[in-house]
């Protein structure tokens, strides 16, 4: 990943709900008003996912609010947005989704150092309830361990 990127939207629950095995960077097809809205720091990918339609991937249910200065040239806030990937990566992801039953979850939307909007996608499997409890228990233990180390020295 690039070191200088301006993160616009984060999906904080993605790593809690899914066991992410691999991450990919994808371009995203946007209208001008969508780019303006994202540059203003607005947008949410909390309940979005990537879906395959034919031989292409689309970002479904991502919310990019209307840019009011665009007036009549505005966009639909929750429209499906095409994701841009190299054919080799696309075929690999489509195979994982169709054969292995994995899920493509957007982790973040950001602007790279060239100023292009990108989506970081995580390829993962949904966690069971017990796995989520184990993750929470481990996180609590790490927090408690940090407290103990600070107080005891």
Query: What DSSP designation does 70 have?
Result: G
Distances (CA, A) of 3 to 6, 61, 80, 83, 93: 10, 28, 29, 22, 25
Q: How many helices (H) and strands (E) does the chain have?
A: 4, 7
Domains and CATH numbers, the chain: 6-127 (2.40.280.10)
Q: Show the tokens assigned to 149.
A: 């180390």
Is the pLDDT at 15 greater than 50, yes or no?
yes
Is residue 108 scored above 80 in pLDDT? yes
Report how far apart, in Å, the C-alpha atoms of 136 and of each of 5, 12, 130, 131 are: 29, 14, 10, 9
Q: According to the model, what pLDDT value does residue 74 have?
A: 83
Q: What is the mean pLDDT of residues 97-124?
A: 91
**76's tokens:** 């639909």
Task: Identify the bridge partners of residue 56 per DSSP, sorted by sequence position.
Answer: 53
Report pLDDT digits (tens) over 47-77. 899 998 888 999 999 999 888 888 788 888 8
Q: What is the pLDDT of residue 131?
A: 84
Judge contact between 13 and 47, C-beta under 8 A.
Answer: no
Mean pLDDT of 110-129: 90
% of the chain with per-residue pLDDT over 90: 38
Cα torsion 138, 134, 106, 44: sign: negative
Average pLDDT score over residue span 103-128: 91
Cα 15 from Cα 20, distance rounded (Å): 7
Read off the pLDDT band of 85 (50, 70, 90). very high
């Amino acid at each position: 990943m690039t070191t200088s990127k301006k993160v616009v939207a984060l999906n904080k629950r993605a790593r809690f709900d899914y066991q992410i095995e691999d991450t990919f960077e994808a371009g995203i097809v946007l209208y001008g008003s969508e780019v303006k809205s994202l540059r203003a720091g607005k947008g949410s990918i909390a309940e979005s996912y990537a879906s395959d339609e034919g031989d292409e991937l689309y970002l479904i249910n991502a919310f990019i609010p209307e840019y009011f200065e665009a007036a009549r040239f505005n966009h639909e806030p929750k429209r499906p947005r095409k994701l841009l990937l190299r054919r080799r990566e696309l075929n690999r992801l489509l195979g994982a989704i169709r054969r292995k039953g994995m899920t493509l979850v957007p982790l973040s939307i950001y602007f790279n150092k060239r100023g292009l909007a990108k989506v970081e996608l995580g390829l993962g499997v949904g966690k069971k309830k017990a796995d989520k409890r184990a993750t929470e228990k481990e996180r609590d233990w790490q927090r408690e361990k940090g407290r103990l180390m600070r107080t005891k020295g």
